[in-house]
Amino acid sequence: MTTCLSPELLSLYNLEESVVVAIDVLRATSTIASALYHGANAVIPVSTVEECIEKGQKPETITAGERNGITASGLQYGNSPLLYQDGLAKNKTLILTTTNGTALIHKSLQAKQILTGSFPNISTLCEYLKGQSTPIILACAGWKGQVNLEDTLFAGAVATRLDQHFDTQNDTTLLAQALYNQYQHDLPSLIRQSSHYKRLGRLGIYNDIQYCMSFDTAPVLPFLYEGQLVNKKF
Amino acid sequence: MTTCLSPELLSLYNLEESVVVAIDVLRATSTIASALYHGANAVIPVSTVEECIEKGQKPETITAGERNGITASGLQYGNSPLLYQDGLAKNKTLILTTTNGTALIHKSLQAKQILTGSFPNISTLCEYLKGQSTPIILACAGWKGQVNLEDTLFAGAVATRLDQHFDTQNDTTLLAQALYNQYQHDLPSLIRQSSHYKRLGRLGIYNDIQYCMSFDTAPVLPFLYEGQLVNKKF
């Protein structure tokens, strides 16, 4: 089990032989978990706003996404995971584009398997990963190529839960685990220091952050199948 | 003060307006500090073995460098910082090429100023940085593009010493500080876990590692001036 701290470094990893766990804690992969848990049939991650609008023409779809944290022009919704709690996407397909998370998924397409991870689905994810014999890459979305705290923290949380099952003795995974170990009893204090928190805070999205830091509130396993993220049963 | 965890991410930083501290703890920047402290006039970092050999034709030069941890073919010496303790490079110019450290310096050439940092010169480096008003980038060499533990650890050590003087509230610097905070009282236990330690250990270079983890044994300030690293007086 290894950790890729930025999508800009993905080319250094052997994607073809690996399961990639795409991690964009604030907020894309939390939103994906929330939408699937609250009844969406699928989430289609797309790179551009234009593609999002185009794919959103089909019946039973809704479009959502952000650029720089703000609802992208032409889309129905932004990137809040809270939107879906009342069944907004129930039995529908969510077409989603975000600054970093969906781009990361597209950069990972050569992988043997792509899953998405977030605190709301951490236990389900870890339970599934335990049964895997394929190498696992915890792939952090970061922010526009930069390494960020919250995605690294989540990678550290997963590695710490699974280090009895996998070899986590590599530099980036140990680094992520050191971060998690130091802050595991006070995750909010770390998140409050992160640059993403400051960005989202300016947008007043504290409830979103609270949801994204909650454990197991959306116990699903988002799994990319033919371009769509669906809840994998196992 | 910010931290760039891999040379592959340097393009995301504003080098032109910054002081770059190049960090390759095992072993390039420790070797540079050692050579200058033990009397070398200058260290010229070069990218290729060929260039090293060519520049080493001049009088009063010695050539050193490694590829994958082993003395590169055609050079006089490897990349051990211990070589210089008996005055091997005294009044000479050391032409040095290494896997990651010299490449990092070349990728940083647009910077306003380039210094090199290592535990053997940490206090001298920090003392100098305290007086700077230009933004500082702690640039980690890593290993072939990968983020590594020991360079991140050093960045964390510098940031922790200087966080009363600079704003260190950015994600990568906080991450480096978390690593340093967790292991500061037992650096060897962290280093023993690092992949580089395992690589060098296979080569039996434990004395080198011990030197590279020693504080202030080579109190100099390597500073790039017209392509040569010299000991800057301040």
Domains annotated for chain A, with CATH where assigned, are 2-231 (3.90.1560.10)
Residues of chain B in contact with residue A180, where contact means CB-CB under 8 angstroms, are none
pLDDT of A202 higher than 80? no
**Quick one: which of B82, B95, B84, B108 has its CA closest to B26?**
B82
Q: Are A65 and A32 in contact (CB under 8 A)?
A: no
pLDDT of A204 higher than 80? no
Spatial neighbors of B147 by CB under 8 A, at least 6 apart, are A5, A9, A147, A171, A172, A175, B5, B6, B140
What pLDDT, on the 0 to 100 scale, is given for residue B201? 75
What pLDDT, on the 0 to 100 scale, is given for residue B217? 98
How would you class A51 by CB atoms within 10 Å of its CB: exposed for 0-12, middle for 13-18, buried for 19 or more? middle
What pLDDT, on the 0 to 100 scale, is given for residue B144? 93
Mean pLDDT over A186-207 rounds to 84
Strands (E), A48-97: 61-67, 70-71, 93-97
pLDDT in tens, A25-51: 999 999 999 999 999 999 999 999 999
What pLDDT, on the 0 to 100 scale, is given for residue A136? 98
pLDDT of A203 higher than 80? no
What pLDDT, on the 0 to 100 scale, is given for residue B196? 86
Q: Rounded to an integer, what distance in angstroms lies between the CA atom of residue B193 and that of residue A172?
A: 11
Contact B181 A182 (CB under 8 A): yes
Using DSSP, how many helices (H) and how many strands (E) does chain B show? 9, 10
Strands (E), B87-195: 93-97, 113-117, 136-140
Which helix (H) or strand (E) element contains residue B23? strand B19-23
Spatial neighbors of B106 by CB under 8 A, at least 6 apart, are B45, B47
What pLDDT, on the 0 to 100 scale, is given for residue B106? 93
For strands B19-23 and A61-67, give the pairing.
unpaired
Residues of chain B in contact with residue A145, where contact means CB-CB under 8 angstroms, are 9, 12
Which ipTM value was assigned to this complex?
0.93
pLDDT of A119 higher than 80? yes
pLDDT of A68 higher than 90? no
What pLDDT, on the 0 to 100 scale, is given for residue B147? 97
What pLDDT, on the 0 to 100 scale, is given for residue B31? 97
Contact B147 A12 (CB under 8 A): no
Identify from B100, B143, B171 which residue to disrupt to test chain A contact, counting A C-beta atoms within 10 A and taking the largest count.
B171
Contact B181 A181 (CB under 8 A): no
Between helix B149-162 and helix B122-130 the angle, nearest 10°, is 50
pLDDT band at A157 (very low <50, low <70, confident <90, very high): very high
| Spacing of C-alpha A116 from chain mean position | 5
pLDDT of A234 higher than 90? no
Identify from B3, B137, B147 which residue to disrupt to test chain A contact, counting A C-beta atoms within 10 A and taking the largest count.
B147
Between helix A195-202 and helix A149-162 the angle, nearest 10°, is 130
Q: Which residues of chain B have pLDDT under 50?
A: none
Of residues B205 and A232, more confidence is placed in: A232
Q: Are B4 and B198 in contact (CB under 8 A)?
A: no
> Is A82's Cβ below 8 Å from some Cβ in B?
no
